[in-house]
Structure 1
């Protein structure tokens, strides 16, 4: 009887690497969230430093308000990009970052609103209310912020359990309405100066991210 042959290492079947496994290991590391938190705080830290060191140009109040609005839009794009990236690349650990990024959308929106109320309105509530009623782009931005308040307030596990998964998911689809209102707010703000190039970029990115979701749902 012939002795059993040993299979060489090169002849053994190799297990195919899991798609995105290396990135998943990085994103799943316990330091990933703290690093992400620090990175998300950097734009705000820079704006605070620039305001105190007179680096925001001739009209620092306007520059601060608009920069905070820009970062709100950027984080909104980022949070909406997480699911398409997760599905198309296999980076499943990106889901761990979604709640934190969503809360940073709310944070920058609050700072945007606070800087407007402070520097433009001097915290005069009657003037703020009149401005919201008078100027459509302020009204649209305020409605988007109110929706973000409801999303941030229900972004925790206790809220999910209290509401039930189906109702919670239905509520959090309001982020798509927030995206539309944010682009409309930006469009009306730039309409006075006929400067729509940056608006078109954000609108195209957000439309593609929402279109991907519609396409995926229709495929199902």
Structure 2
């Protein structure tokens, strides 16, 4: 069974993997935020339902994948001696936690290679996401988030491999839920910042352009 300690560990992996999330998903978050309706971009509170829906769909995909991997581990336990299978799964989980710690610390990047495993699948899924742009409603954003959740990511795939130690579909789903919730603060913050910047840039006289125009006029006066 999934212990509370494992759930917390999965949450911390997602939370501490924020730097990785910025590098991996920053461009996607920015594109989604820039694609919001103009009226929504100009009101920070109006952006929140869309951002929550994006991430809710993404975490939903994580949970489904975790359930599938946990189901595989449950099948293995039925085929093998229960005690032997539990011991193997516990050793596997402990070893994999050490590898993920090294990965997050940047001391060993071997887990990044697992991203290539999902690249072929993503080639078929990614066009579906492009067809859903631009986003018009939170429900629309949720569906797009479901697709986003299958983006090839070494950190996500590493936690998925960890769910093989869960012992059941439900426990695998809970492990991925903990991880997904850990990634939520960083990606929500990125979405708010990106949407705010897009709102300023798209204004009739946006701050960035206004500042650039002011500098240009000052230079002309000095000349």
TM over 0.5: no
**Which is richer in helix?**
2
Query: Whose relative contact order is higher, 1 or 2, with alpha carbons under 8 Å and at least 6 apart?
Result: 2
Please identify the structure whose Cα radius of gyration is greater.
1
Q: Structure 2-normalised TM-score?
A: 0.27
Q: Structure 1-normalised TM-score?
A: 0.28
